[in-house]
């Protein structure tokens, strides 16, 4: 395994992070525990969850993922061996069953205390804002379209001050953002500089060979402001494993169970995936390995959040850290990207 540090901290994390959002829907508690056992045995010390999980989100399953992690931590007495990241859900219809107050009032305190209970721990290593409160283009929306009815008012300073109180209290060690845009990331950086607040360490955004939107402006923000990318969906909901093109997807595969998640299933995405699959075949490696190795090596990536529904997938995903993408291979990836740029924003 390879390791790095969360920017602006001394927290050492594996370059591969174990994503958990299937636990509670596609995976049982026992399967989640088995994945954590396997990951820890193979050098992965970084686990990402959220109060929202599992996905798809429902009131009946909300919080199950973190509860599974909590029972594993208690059973194995492994809290000091792993770095736990979690998130407070942003506002919207999708999360109305959790709360409707966004990050205001006592929302962060309530969310954090409930998550600590679920995880059966006294602290969270990285606490993230799952998505912005303001209306912006995220989750596959390509273009920003301003809304005159957006009720949000600028509260970056307020949110950062609230988070700092929990850093000072020892309940969280570092803070992050997620599904953010360049403007939002820079506003956080500005408030941190001007008011001596806890630095924003990371942003968790979608990034893969089918979605390199991060490179448009956030990559520069990441490198110049020292805000590392935690790349999620590096396999684009499993599309970049090639299993949907080759017809080998299992019955419990994500897009078979939840076909409404069509972010990576456009005609252009399929055409690009076929070309990436051919490249992987030419190299004699799996498309999964090619896709993950590409993300692992990007200079702005702090950690690559992989997800799996079985141990065979998990083994292949973790092993991708041992594959080096040559300059020639990167050039071929970039040629496909130039021909079919960001087919899945």
Virtual torsion, Cα 164, 166, 168, 170, nearest 10 deg = -140
Contact 31, 318 (CB under 8 A): no
State the Cα–Cα distance between residues 282 and 292, nearest whole angstrom.
Answer: 17
Contact 62, 98 (CB under 8 A): yes
Residue 187 token pair? 């506003």
Residue partners of 258: CB distance under 8 A and separation at least 6: 56
Task: Please state whether the peptide bond connecting residue 27 to the residue before it is cis, i.e. omega within 30 degrees of 0.
Answer: no
State the Cα–Cα distance between residues 226 and 119, nearest whole angstrom.
Answer: 29
Helix (H, G, I), strand (E, B) or coil at 252: coil
CA torsion sign, 233 to 81 to 120 to 74? positive
Residue whose C-alpha is closest to residue 176's, from 167, 168, 280: 167
CA torsion sign, 320 to 8 to 116 to 103? negative
State the Cα–Cα distance between residues 165 and 185, nearest whole angstrom.
Answer: 20
Partnered with residue 128 across adjacent β-strands are: 87, 176
5-39 as b/e: b if 16+ CB within 10 A:
ebbbbebebbbbbbbbbbbbbbbebebbbbbbebb
Residue numbers annotated as active site:
53
Distances (CA, A) of 320 to 2, 16, 149, 292: 11, 9, 45, 6
Helix (H, G, I), strand (E, B) or coil at 238: coil
- Hey, which bits of 118-236 come out as E strands? 124-129, 172-178, 200-206, 228-232
């Amino acid at each position: 395994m390879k390791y790095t540090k969360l920017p602006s901290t001394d927290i050492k994390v594996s370059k591969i992070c174990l994503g958990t959002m299937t636990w509670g829907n596609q995976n049982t508690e026992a399967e989640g525990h088995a994945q954590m056992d396997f990951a820890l045995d193979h050098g992965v010390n970084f686990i990402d969850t959220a109060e929202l999980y599992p996905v798809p989100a429902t009131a009946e399953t909300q919080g199950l993922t973190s509860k599974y992690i909590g029972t594993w931590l208690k059973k194995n007495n492994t809290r000091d061996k792993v770095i736990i990241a979690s998130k407070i859900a942003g506002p919207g219809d999708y999360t109305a069953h959790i709360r409707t107050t966004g990050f205001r009032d006592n929302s962060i305190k309530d969310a954090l205390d409930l998550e600590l209970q679920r995880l059966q721990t006294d602290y969270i290593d990285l606490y993230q804002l799952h998505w912005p409160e303001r209306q912006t283009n995220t989750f596959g929306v390509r273009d920003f379209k301003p809304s005159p009815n957006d009720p949000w008012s600028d509260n970056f300073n307020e949110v950062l001050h609230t988070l700092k109180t929990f850093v000072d209290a020892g309940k969280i060690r570092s803070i992050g953002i997620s599904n953010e845009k360049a403007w939002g990331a820079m506003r956080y950086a500005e408030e941190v500089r001007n008011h001596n607040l806890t630095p924003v360490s990371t942003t968790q955004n979608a990034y893969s060979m089918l979605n390199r939107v991060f490179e448009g402006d956030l990559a520069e923000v990441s490198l110049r402001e020292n805000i590392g990318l935690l790349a999620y969906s590096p396999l684009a909901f499993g599309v970049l494993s090639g299993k949907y093109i080759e017809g080998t997807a299992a019955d419990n595969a994500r897009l078979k169970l939840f076909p409404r998640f069509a972010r990576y299933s456009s005609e252009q995405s399929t055409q690009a995936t076929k070309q990436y699959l051919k490249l992987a075949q030419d190299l004699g490696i799996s498309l999964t390995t090619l896709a993950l190795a590409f993300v692992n090596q990007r200079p702005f990536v702090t950690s690559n959040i992989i997800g799996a529904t079985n141990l065979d997938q998990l083994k292949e995903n973790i092993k991708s850290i041992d594959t080096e993408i040559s300059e020639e291979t990167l050039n071929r990836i970039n040629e496909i990207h130039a021909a079919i740029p960001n087919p899945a924003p």
